[in-house]
Structure 1
């Protein structure tokens, strides 16, 4: 399975469903302005809160590495959305061609290895996060998009994620978000606690029980577990 292509296609589908067809033009179906660069730097700022960086408050706060990885995945949603938007506007390549080109970069190749990973130092991680923020603040161009992808992959690697782990965390959240929308999340009728477990925990357990399942399989597993 081409995990990168799968994630790009899932993000395209999610954006189409949530924002409406043609979201690449910069507005949702309700006419709300879309700014993926702002999404990236605001989520990156939240990522920094995983660290006890405040020298005047809670100085003994330990780094929450589990939350850091979740925030990395959240930023990945928006990085892919920006890349898909830029690619669509300029009509340079298909999603398949985009995935092939990205997969040939050294940063992706490093992330695609299943070697034992470890977290970078907090100082280096925060510098890398701030690099992602800095890139998201400059005018968009092919060079900016390419550099942003490279910096993100390096951040993910420093955050002890390889492509398999990034894929599982991303797909899990993507499919759960789709499932929530399909079962009354916006209307307020969605049930978040399933037989004593939060839906996030049910989703993670489904992955653990079957690590090789497809996104469609995960959706089916959630549908089976959901309390009617």
Structure 2
């Protein structure tokens, strides 16, 4: 439960900083409407593009599992945000209550086990589309089933609680870095020497498994400064 609670807390802090402290009411500090479900199904579409699903193009292209895992983590950002908003609007409790309830889900015990195995491509896509379908539905969202589906996707994507946590923290730091370097204004450079910043962040984590979040931020800063000097 500790990792779930910490991720929820970090997400709430990121949303406070990015969207203002009223974001749980569905609007940003700039009066922009927030639609977490739309964020989720758009990320899911990008997730499917990790595979060579097109029957008319690049049919022999290998699946991009690194990108899939990054997209899974992106969905987790938005799913946690939606869950926190849901608990706030429906007076279900605070972040601690949400963390307890998530950790009591049957599928949570499955992601606690170490996992390095990927599911079959078709099974992954079906699970992604199941999440998309729930996101697009006009019926009241069953939050527990929604998160259960996501945890099943975590397992199919070769992730477990520890790797989900590490990638989430890494992406959380990257998101902070992006905001600090002009992401919202449109001046941030997302592709560094032909490699997307998501992948660079993931490689830093893989090469330095004990790196601290603040050190990761400094490493990203050094790389970004060197990129802009060229």
Mark yes or no: TM-score above 0.5. Answer: yes
Distance 2:68 2:103 in 1: 24
Matched, 1:117 2:127: no
Determine the structure 2 residue equivalent to 1:164: 162
Mean CA deviation greater in 3-12 or 218-227? 218-227
Mean CA deviation greater in 88-97 or 218-227? 218-227
Shift in alpha-carbon separation, 1:50–1:83, aligned structure 2, 3 A: same
Shift in alpha-carbon separation, 1:204–1:83, aligned structure 2, 3 A: same
Distance 2:41 2:206 in 1: 32
| RMSD value, Cα | 2.8
Cα shift readout 1:28-78 (whole Å, capped 9, x = no counterpart): 111111111111111111111111111122222221111111111111111
Matched, 1:153 2:154: no
Q: TM-score, normalised by structure 2?
A: 0.85
Structure 1 unaligned residues grouped into runs of 5+: none
Determine the structure 2 residue equivalent to 1:70: 70
Mean CA deviation greater in 152-161 or 97-106? 97-106
Distance 1:27 1:179 in 2: 23
Q: Secondary structure at the match of 1:130?
A: helix
Aligned-residue offset at 1:140:
6.2
Shift in alpha-carbon separation, 1:119–1:186, aligned structure 2, 3 A: same
CA contact (8 A) 1:138 1:144 kept: no
Determine the structure 2 residue equivalent to 1:36: 36
CA contact (8 A) 1:48 1:126 kept: yes
